[in-house]
């Protein structure tokens, strides 16, 4: 009895002393690949650049942040957030029925459908986006389809419009919406739907009164997963939007690769990260208040 308990205590001690060494690889990776770069970013954002030598002098200037208040940047930030919200909303509208359908399929068919949702991820994001240029251009298949359905005639000029940007955003980010929705919907006990119907609820209201409220954690996860990368998106607007509408991500990208103004780019990035963190916190609060559902 004493033997085994002291052995247990020794094991516990060993477990405690092993805890840090075991966590060390992850912590080191986290520190070097996340904490240090972010700290550098913040450091740079308070620096100043010499416009001819491009040397960064570090100090505590807020000029980079005050430049951000210029209307051109503020409007780009607002636009990026709006596009992010809009993409997330459309993804939700398209993704919810899809996820619901898949969650109510059985066995092999369900696996197959999930695979179909995931497969596009195996193709490079940029290649997928360029593919849509071919699909959406005048004389392309989408135009032919719409004409075949008598939705339009002649050259439809779909490409390089806000609409084509939306198409690009939605098709690229839809899987990120469908997967968490699927997980949430699969956990909704079908007997709850039977119960609601049994209590006199027609199918559409079963959806709004039971299925939708119960899938809120999935909806929040999906919206966050879509909206955050969508807010930072700059490839899709550049390729499918004809480069006419810069997003916040484009400006950040430009500061680092074109104008070479690292401090200003860093300030833009810091502000952007702050906005996204705020969104994440809000999302957590939204999920948290539903905790007893999960």
Partner 1 sequence: MSEQSPRSPLDSRPSRRGLFKFRALAVGAFSVASLLAACGGAGSSATSTTGAATQTSTGPLTGEVKFLNLTDWIGPHTVEDFQSKNPGATITQIAEDMTSSSGPAAVVIQNPSAYDMVFLDASGLGQLTAAGQVQPYDTAAMPNYSAILPVFQKAFPQGVPLDTGQIGIAYRKDKVSEKIATWKDFWSVVPKYPGKTILIDYDRDVIGNALIMLGYSANSTNTDEINKAKDAVLAIKPAVQAFKVLDIAKSLVDGSAYMTMGYDFETAAAMEKNPNIAWVAPPEGLVAYVEGWVAVKGTQHMDIAQSFTDFQHSPDQYKSFVDTMGVPNVQGLKQPPIMDPVPQAQFLQYLGPEATQAVADAWTQIKS
Partner 2 sequence: MNDSKCAISLREVNRTFDDFVAVRDLSLNIADGEFFSLIGPSGCGKTTTLRMLAGLDSPTSGSIEVHGKDMVGVPPYRRPINTVFQNYALFPHLTVGENVAFGLRERKTERREMARRVGEILELVHLPGKEKRRPRELSGGQQQRVALARALVLKPEVLLLDEPLGALDLKLRRSMQGLMKEIQREVGITFVYVTHDQEEAFSMSSRIGIMNRGILEQVDTPQAVYRRPASAFVADFVGASNHVTVEVLSVAGTRYRVAAPTIGTVDCDGVDGIASGSTAAMVVRPELISIVDSGTGASLSGTIRDVSYNGPTVDYLVETGLGTFAIKTDGQRLASIDSSVGITWPASACWLVPMPSELSANETSEEATSA
Q: How far is the CB of 157 from partner 1 (least distance, A)?
A: 6
> Which residue from 52, 53, 191, 257 is in contact with partner 2, where contact means CB under 8 A?
191
> Which residue from 3, 50, 70, 292 is in contact with partner 2, where contact means CB under 8 A?
292
Structure tokens belonging to residue 257: 């690769």
Question: Interacting stretch for partner 2, rule CB under 8 A, among 26-34, 141-149, 193-201, 218-226?
Answer: 193-201
Q: How far is the CB of 213 from partner 2 (least distance, A)?
A: 5
Instruction: Decide: is 205 part of the binding site for partner 2 (CB under 8 A).
Output: yes
Instruction: Decide: is 31 part of the binding site for partner 2 (CB under 8 A).
Output: no
Residue 157 interacting entry, from partner 2, partner 1, none, C-beta within 5 to 8 Å by type:
partner 1
Instruction: Decide: is 189 part of the binding site for partner 2 (CB under 8 A).
Output: yes
Q: CB nearer to partner 1: give 41 or 94.
A: 41
Under DSSP, the state recorded for 48 is E
Binding footprint of partner 2, residue count (CB under 8 A): 21
Beta strands 48-49 and 56-57: pairing type? antiparallel
Residue 213 interacting entry, from partner 1, partner 2, none, C-beta within 5 to 8 Å by type:
partner 2
Q: CB nearer to partner 2: give 19 or 290.
A: 290
Q: What is the CA radius of gyration of the chain?
A: 25
Give the footprint of partner 1 on this chain (CB under 8 A).
Answer: 36-37, 40, 51-54, 72, 75-76, 126, 137-139, 155, 157, 159-160, 235, 238-239, 241-246, 250-251, 254, 256-262
Q: Can you list the pairs that 102-106 forms with residues at least 24 positions away whose Cβ atoms lie under 8 Å?
A: 102/178, 102/182, 103/182, 103/185, 103/186, 103/188, 104/190
Q: How far is the CB of 194 from partner 2 (least distance, A)?
A: 6
**Among candidate residues 224, 225, 218, 129, the one with its CA nearest the CA of residue 175:** 225
Residue 198 interacting entry, from partner 1, partner 2, none, C-beta within 5 to 8 Å by type:
partner 2
Structure tokens belonging to residue 227: 């909206």
CA-angle at 220, arms to 226 and 83, nearest 5°? 35
Structure tokens belonging to residue 262: 């690292």
Q: CB nearer to partner 2: give 30 or 194.
A: 194
**Among candidate residues 218, 167, 164, the one with its CA nearest the CA of residue 188:** 218
DSSP H helical ranges for the chain: 2-30, 36-45, 63-67, 71-103, 107-118, 125-136, 141-148, 162-186, 190-198, 203-206, 212-214, 216-231, 235-240, 248-257, 262-288
Residue 38 interacting entry, from partner 1, partner 2, none, C-beta within 5 to 8 Å by type:
none
Instruction: Decide: is 290 part of the binding site for partner 2 (CB under 8 A).
Output: yes
Task: Measure the CA–CA gap between 263 and 268, rounded to whole angstroms.
Answer: 9
Please check whether residue 263 is in contact with residue 68, taking contact to mean a CB–CB distance below 8 angstroms: no
Applying CB under 8 A, the residues found at the interface with partner 2 are 189, 191-192, 194-203, 205, 209-210, 213-214, 290, 292-293
């Amino acid at each position: 009895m004493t033997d085994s308990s002291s052995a247990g205590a020794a094991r516990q001690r060993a477990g405690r002393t092993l805890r840090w060494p075991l966590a060390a690889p992850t912590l080191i990776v986290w520190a070097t690949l996340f904490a240090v770069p972010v700290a550098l970013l913040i450091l740079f954002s308070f620096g100043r650049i010499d416009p001819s030598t491009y040397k960064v002098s570090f100090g505590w200037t807020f000029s980079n942040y005050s430049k951000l208040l210029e209307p051109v940047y503020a409007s780009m930030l607002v636009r990026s957030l709006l596009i992010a919200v809009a993409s997330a909303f459309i993804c939700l509208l398209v993704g919810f029925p899809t996820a619901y359908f898949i969650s109510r399929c059985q066995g092999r068919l369900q696996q197959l459908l999930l695979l179909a949702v995931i497969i596009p991820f195996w193709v490079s994001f940029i290649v997928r986006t360029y593919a849509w240029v071919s699909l959406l251009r005048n004389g392309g298949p989408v135009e032919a389809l719409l004409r075949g359905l008598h939705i339009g005639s002649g050259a439809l000029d779909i490409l390089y419009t806000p609409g084509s940007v939306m198409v690009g955003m939605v098709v690229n980010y839809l899987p990120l919406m469908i997967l968490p929705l699927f997980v949430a919907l699969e956990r909704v006990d079908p007997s709850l739907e039977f119960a609601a119907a049994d209590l006199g609820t027609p199918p559409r209201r079963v959806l709004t009164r039971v299925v939708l409220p119960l899938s809120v954690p999935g909806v929040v996860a999906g919206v966050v997963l879509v909206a955050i990368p969508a807010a930072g998106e700059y490839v899709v607007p550049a390729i499918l939007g004809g480069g006419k509408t810069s997003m916040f991500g484009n400006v950040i990208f430009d500061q680092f690769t074109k104008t070479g103004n690292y401090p200003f780019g860093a300030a833009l990035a810091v502000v952007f990260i702050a906005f996204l963190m705020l969104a994440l916190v809000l999302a957590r609060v939204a999920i948290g208040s539903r905790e007893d559902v999960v």
